Amino acid sequence: MSHYKVVNPATGETVEEFPTATDDQIKDALARSHNAFSSWKNTPIEERTAVLTRVAEIYEQRSEELAKIIQTEMGKAIPEGQGEIALCSLIYKYFANNAEAFIEDEPLKGPKNAEAYIERLPVGSILGIMPWNFPYYQVARFAAPNLALGNTIILKHAPQCPKSAAVMEEIFQEAGLPADAYINVYATNEQVADIILPDPRNQGVSLTGSERAGSAVAAEAGRNLKKVVLELGGSDPYILLDTPDLDTTVKTFFGTRMGNTGQACNSPKRMIVMDDLYDEFVEKIAVAAQEAAPEDPTTDGSKLSPLSSVAAKERFLEQVNATVADGATILAGEEQYDGPGAFVKPVVLTDVKKGGRGYYEELFGPAVMVFKVSSEEEAVQLANDTPFGLGSAVFSTDEKKAEEIASQIDAGMVFINSPEQSREYLPFGGVKRSGVGRELGPLAMDEFVNKRLVFKKK
């Protein structure tokens, strides 16, 4: 039975299966990717970036088609899917327009009788292991900077996204990328560990996924002395100090949390609210959750599509139930959807106990946890009391105070008076168990690169 298959999460129906790669096919992909690197790295950067520009254009032209593919694969509504594809186009354009500047030689100050500078050079064939929650976007933020730099890519996508994985390879070829500079493989985890990472032709691995997956891949990469970039989970805090318009704030917090049906790493999973606003905030956000019923993902504008799979639904509800069993209060979502597929109703939890499941685990679905605090110090302490450190946000009418609080949060990203955003020019990544490395923005091209020192005596 194939490991890679399209299963419609709205119905649970298997739509299409794809054959898992054989060991020989994986070895062949390694050889082809390595051989392609020898020419791609020497291709003028103007030609490399021209390919990315063309990729961006194709994404725009095929937006509706591409959105329908991931709607069937992982349940994303068409409007959200088209939004993801538009962001991908911006990412490819961004690196097409800026890559040359990002890899310019960096002069070093030294004695007058010498010249020294740092070159930024590609390193070779890189493995990408990508998740299902943003099938195109996750690949774009990895592939665009590395292809611009001159690296080649072997891409292992999530087993439930084989169709979008194949289409992305097709688009690169249509855009003029040389054969084998980007290779899609339907590999198993065992093939990654036993064949790809030990092979000297592989120069590193970038993974976006769960904390568990990141730990496993990092262990194998470390065993083989390979560079890693890990974009893992998050339990992002949003601190609300004060607001001139609580209705708008609740709408912003809830709408951001429900994006992609709550299946985003950088999502406000912990809402930390000052005690004078807490009761009204909880009342309003519970109403918003109760009114947000699951909808068919083909409904235009739907923000409550099914979760990515029935298994994801079961895992999410098990976490919620365990959190309630540990002492939390559930204010919305207690009576869950009992129809077919992976639909769930939004959940609002309060009184989440320290040490309970939801307190330290990432709830990957439409769950809101609200915490009451009585001081700014308590808010910061609670925000940092997590093994994760991806994103965060602070809201206050006093911008200076918000900046002061934000400066104390242990996270890779902090937003002030704004919900978190994923934009092509903003570096994305975390600290602690949220991973290592950065993607997007100018930092993305500083990962899989040889920063080679050149020193010349005059």
The one catalytic residue in 211, 231, 424, 447 is 231
Provide the CB-side half-sphere exposure for 346 (13 A, CA).
Answer: 26
- SS3 state of residue 382: helix
Helix (H) or strand (E) holding 156: strand 152-156
3-state secondary structure 283-327: HHHHHHHHHCCCCCCCCCCCCCCCCCCHHHHHHHHHHHHHHHHCC
Give the chain's length: 458
104 included as an active-site residue: no
**In 282-307, which positions are buried (b, 16+ CB within 10 angstroms) versus exposed (e)?**
bebbbebbeebebbebeeeebbbbbb
Query: Which among 258, 343, 342, 346 has a CA at the least distance from the CA of 7?
Result: 342
Tokens of 289: 């959750």
Distance CA 213, CA 228 (A): 13
- SS3 state of residue 261: helix
Task: Find where tokens 């010349």 sit.
Answer: 456
88 included as an active-site residue: no
The one catalytic residue in 80, 265, 362, 439 is 265
Asked if 343 contacts 317 with a C-beta cutoff of 8 angstroms, the reply is no
Distance CA 347, CA 344 (A): 9
Tokens of 47: 């030609």
Give the bridge partners for 330, in sequence order. Answer: 349
> What residues act catalytically?
231, 265
